[in-house]
Structure 1
Amino acid sequence: MAATERSPSLFVRPLGAVENNPTALKLILGGKLRELRVSAGLDPADVDDRLGFSRSKTSRIELGRHGCKPADAEALLRLYGVEDEELVTEFQRLVTQSRQSDWWRSFSDVLSDFFTPLVALEGAAAIIRTYEPFYVPGLLQTPAYARAVIESGPARLLPHDVRRRVDLRQERQRQLDQPDAPRLWAVIDESVLMRTVGGPRVMREQLEHLAAMMRRPHVTVQVAPLDVTASVGVGTGVTYLRFALGDLKDAIYIEHLTDSTFSQKPQSVEQYRDMLDRLGACALTPKESLVLLEERIRRYS
């Protein structure tokens, strides 16, 4: 290779917002190490034995559940035959960044384990698609509306915990203000506009905020009439994360009463993407949705 020619990257470029997301980086690095291991013809157990790792450590690193230390990365790359200095340096730089603390860890006192996968990865997405049958999506909620939603939940929370959950929701929303913010495409059930959450004043403020967000170029909101959601047969809310990188698989998140489903299995992701496509095709257009929303706002005057 000529001295002026750069080594081809191990990763799909550019990484963009992903470089500032330690959780996403762990998944990307783990996936790349898995590819390199398979190419080297090795099983995870073989790697554990050869490098003196504890049982299943290689598998946990590949799944992004175990942070990869620089020394481990060096040993793994050497074992897999990656000797190019540029590639090793790039890999180690991303390993270092993946070991930084995620912003959401400061909310670990109120962040449930089942909600963590969504919070951890939504900022790294290129597109966030969501369907919400009961409330305005969390990324579009005002503080007062969010407080009313949180207080109506099944758990009896102390005022401090309610405030912390509202703060977490607002911190998530700040990701939409970043230069590399994901595009948000939300479909909400028509009943969401009819359900007065927190009282008339809170609801009016929420609907006005929703209308303002709909005018942003990277935010699309559609209202699905009641007969549409009945015919499509949705059943529950879902969030779909679309990543621009081939190194990070798309994901779906479905929240239940006390737990959630988070999956990157292609078949599951495709099924819910198709469902969102059908909803979007049958729902009111963004312009029609805004007209309906403004009509609801006038009713709270």
Structure 2
Amino acid sequence: MAAADPSPSLFVRPLGAVEGNPTALKLILGGKLRELRSAAGLDPADVDVKLGFSRSKTSRIELGRHGCKPSDALALLELYGVEEEERVAEFMRLVAASRRPDWWRSFNDVLSDFFTPLVALEGAAATIRTYEPFYVPGLLQTPECTQAVIRSGPGRLLDHEIRRRVELRQQRQRQLDLPDAPRLWAVVDESVLMRSVGGEQVMRDQLHHLIAMMKRPRVTLQIAPLDVTASVGVGTGVSYLRFALGDLRDAVYIEHLTDSTFTQKPATVEQYRDMLDRLGACALTPKETGARLRASLEALG
């Protein structure tokens, strides 16, 4: 059996604030267990048999889809030859942290399954890059704008369901107020400014809010003129999560009408990163964007 990595830590670097995100920790721990298994020359099916796991349990743990119980973690580390007390203690501390409830679990009554991957991981990102062709990005919406956007969506929702979804979005936005908040870089289609979502007063307040948010050092907003989005060929909204940790792969989230695509496949992620790079290079600069927002505000009177 191959020996484990001799580095002082099992992980690429200290995880820092990510330790407060149980979903991210499950992915990181699963990825590390996959590396250790590979180094030990074992297949997932081999591990299932050796440890008496149910079929595919090892694969589910490695993909972050199955929380790792402390007893399972200890058994896996022993099987993979990780014996140093310091490393085992570090790993088990993170296992305990990964088993805490995520904050968004309290919104399960209104949180769609297809939206969960983005909500679960965006707070752990170093940078959130997003392009929106139809609405102001959710992380930059006022509560009134959020309510109008939700009401315009498919299906008929009860008032309390709308209120809960607004609260969920506000809770997501509060992550931008934290000391270790992700950097938000948003590109918005120019047509968004031409839609009066919720009426003139809602749009007026929303424009004021965008101008205020642009003053934050960790928020960048760019307006993409219509000819730019036509030439780049984006087609739909996308969110790209860039993680500073080598133990967690970057991800892309593309939302559709009734479902979404969430992937960490390197080839797909690279394609969308390239698209966002081209959009950012062709869009108005932040200074020009601020002027465009003020012009739109003046046009509303």
Give TM class, smaller chain: over 0.9
Provide the aligned length of Structure 1 versus Structure 2.
Answer: 296
1:141 matched to 2:141:
yes
Q: Is the 8 A contact 2:13 2:246 kept in 1?
A: no
Report what 1:62 is aligned to. 62
1:47 aligns to 2:39 (yes or no)? no
- Contact 1:7 1:86 (C-alpha < 8 Å) held by counterparts: no
Give, as a single letter, the amino acid of the residue that structure 2 aligns with 1:94: L
Aligned to 2:294: 294
Partner of residue 37, structure 1: 37
Q: 1:7–1:87: 8 Å Cα contact kept in structure 2? A: no
RMSD: 0.9
1:252-274 per-position Cα deviation (integer Å, ceiling 9, x unaligned): 00000000000000000000000
Partner of 2:3: none
SS in 1 for 2:110: coil
Q: Aligned equivalents of 1:278 and 1:119: distance in 2?
A: 26
2:76 corresponds to 1:76: yes
| 2:12 and 2:246 in contact (8 A); partners too | yes
Instruction: Report the Cα distance in structure 2 between the residues aligned to 1:144 and 1:26, rounded to whole angstroms.
Output: 35
1:172 CA displacement = 0.1
Contact persistence 1:17–1:123 (CA under 8 A) = no
**Mapped pair 1:246 → 2:246:** yes
Which SS does the other structure have where 1:184 is aligned?
strand
The one-letter code of the counterpart of 2:11 is F
Three-state SS of the structure 1 residue aligned to 2:129 is strand
What is the aligned partner in structure 1 of residue 259 from structure 2?
Answer: 259
Question: Paired residue for 1:188?
Answer: 188
Output one character per residue of 1:157-182: Cα deviation in whole Å (capped at 9) or x when no partner: 00000000000000000000000000
Q: Is the 8 A contact 1:190 1:226 kept in 2?
A: yes
Aligned to 2:116: 116
Amino acid at match of 1:26: K
The equivalent of 1:229 in structure 2 is: 229
How far off its partner does 1:299 sit?
1.5
Q: Which residue of 2 aligns with 1:206?
A: 206
Amino acid corresponding to residue 252 of structure 2 in structure 1: I
TM-score using structure 2 length = 0.97
2:229, 2:279 within 8 Å by CA — same for their partners in 1? yes
**Structure 1 residues 123-156: Cα deviation after superposition (integer angstroms, max 9, x where no partner):** 0000000000000000000000000000000111
8 Å contact kept, 1:17–1:180: yes
In the alignment, structure 1 residue 175 sits paired with structure 2 residue 153: no
Q: Hey, what's the Cα distance between the residues in 1 that align with 2:94 and 2:140? A: 32
What TM-score comes out, normalization by structure 1 length? 0.97
Question: Deviation digits for residues 214-238 of structure 1, max 9, x if unmatched?
Answer: 1100000000000000011110010
1:8-52 Cα deviation digits (max 9, x unpaired): 111122212210000000000000000000000000011000001
2:32 touches 2:247 (CA, 8 Å); kept in 1? yes
The percentage of aligned residue pairs carrying the same residue is 80
Counterpart contact for 2:70–2:96, Cα < 8 Å: yes
Alignment gaps of 5+ in structure 2:
1-5
Displacement, 1:7?
6.4
Mapped partners of 2:142, 2:230: distance in 1: 28
Contact 1:128 1:240 in 2 (8 A): yes
For the 8 Å contact 1:31–1:247, the answer to whether it is kept is yes
**Unmatched runs of 5 consecutive residues or more in structure 1:** 1-5
